[in-house]
């Protein structure tokens, strides 16, 4: 037995038994059979259909008038027409890919960036790490929607700028959650055993601490997608996001809100219902993942 090896300890086996058993898989399946899980299953084909098929199955043009303005829901126009004679259903379907795509991409970038930074800061308690956390906390305290609106408006509604801003503003959430998990995991016995057994520092950091510190980020990811979709809609609602005539849920709600007083409720209410459904669905996915990683029921 080589020096530095812990007697009687098969490190890889111990790690698998403690962290890589099918317990989480079983917990995920159990939660998917619960009330929240049923919501996820029911909504999955709807959300996927909106993203993949929405623009394809739109029955009318999304940028050219197809009828008289302000026509109510009917067989020809199930969601009615807006104040410009555009088909609300077609624009609602076409907007799904843009809004959900931006929200998903921004959340994934935020998760990758924030998880990486959080892991680096959580590996050691240093002055630089603590100072970096204070800076990140200060950045997180800034009014995210106002900053995003201002920057995106100045960029003339640039979609890449919108994605980048949402990713940067969401990354601190992942930094904090990963940092907290990494500090807890690095104190566990199997990590200490890995160090005593002579494993390389990079292997301990990535495989033993890193892989076991991402649970909180996994649960946060889906919720962040929903928040990002809402932010995209909010920025466009205020007039600083995606420019007309490109279909976008927030812009559609803003354009139709003036018709509510006149009774043209379908122009803003129906896109708003689809927007709310998608946000709630991603929140439900996040709740299922959270319960599965924490053992909650």
Q: Are 43 and 274 in contact (CB under 8 A)?
A: no
Residue 186 confidence class, pLDDT cut points 50, 70, 90: confident
pLDDT score, position 7: 42
Q: Are 273 and 89 in contact (CB under 8 A)?
A: no
Please give the angle made by the CA atoms of 240, 246 and 248, to the nearest 5 degrees: 65
Least confident of 46-50, 88-92, 114-118, 191-195: 191-195
Residues 6+ apart with CB under 8 A from 201: none
Residue 240 confidence class, pLDDT cut points 50, 70, 90: confident
Q: pTM value?
A: 0.83
pLDDT tops 90 at residue 288: no
Other beta carbons within 10 angstroms of residue 86's beta carbon come to 25
pLDDT score, position 219: 80
Structure tokens at 35: 């009330």
Q: Is 74 exposed, middle or buried (0-12, 13-18, 19+ CB in 10 A)?
A: exposed
Structure tokens at 44: 């999955």
Mean pLDDT of 53-60: 92
Distance of CA 215 to the CA centre of its chain: 15
DSSP-assigned letters across all residues of 26-73 = HHHHHHHTSHHHHHHHHHHHHHHHHHHHHHHH-SS-SSS--S-TTPPS
b/e map of 152-169 (b: 16 or more CB within 10 Å)?
Answer: bbeeebbbebbbbbbbbb
pLDDT tops 60 at residue 71: yes
Structural domains in the chain?
11-54+99-294 (1.10.3720.10)
């Amino acid at each position: 037995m080589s020096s530095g090896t812990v007697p009687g300890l098969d490190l890889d086996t111990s790690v698998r038994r403690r962290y890589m058993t099918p317990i989480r898989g079983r917990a995920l399946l159990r939660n998917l059979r619960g009330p929240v899980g049923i919501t996820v299953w029911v909504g999955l084909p709807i959300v996927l259909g909106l993203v993949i098929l929405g623009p394809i199955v739109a029955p009318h043009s999304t940028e050219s008038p197809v009828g008289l303005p302000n026509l109510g829901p009917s067989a020809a126009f199930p969601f009615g027409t807006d104040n410009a004679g555009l088909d609300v259903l077609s624009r609602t379907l076409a907007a799904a890919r843009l809004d959900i795509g931006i929200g998903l991409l921004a959340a994934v970038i935020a998760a990758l960036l924030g998880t990486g930074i959080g892991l680096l800061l959580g590996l050691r308690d240093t002055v630089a790490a603590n100072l970096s956390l204070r800076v990140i906390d200060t950045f997180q305290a800034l009014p995210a929607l106002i900053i995003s609106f201002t920057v995106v408006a100045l960029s003339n509604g640039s979609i890449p700028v919108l994605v980048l801003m949402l990713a940067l503003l969401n990354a601190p959430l992942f930094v904090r959650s990963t940092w907290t998990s990494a500090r807890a995991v690095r104190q566990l016995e199997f990590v200490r055993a890995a160090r005593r057994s002579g494993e390389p520092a990079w292997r301990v950091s990535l495989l033993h601490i890193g892989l076991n510190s991402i649970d909180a980020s996994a649960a946060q990811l889906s919720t962040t997608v929903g928040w990002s979709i809402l932010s995209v809609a909010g920025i466009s609602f205020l007039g600083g996001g995606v420019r007309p005539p490109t279909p976008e849920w927030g812009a559609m709600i803003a354009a139709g809100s003036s018709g509510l007083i006149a009774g043209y409720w379908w122009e803003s209410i129906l896109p708003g219902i689809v927007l709310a459904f998608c946000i709630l669905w991603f929140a439900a996915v996040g709740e299922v993942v959270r319960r599965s990683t924490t053992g909650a029921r």
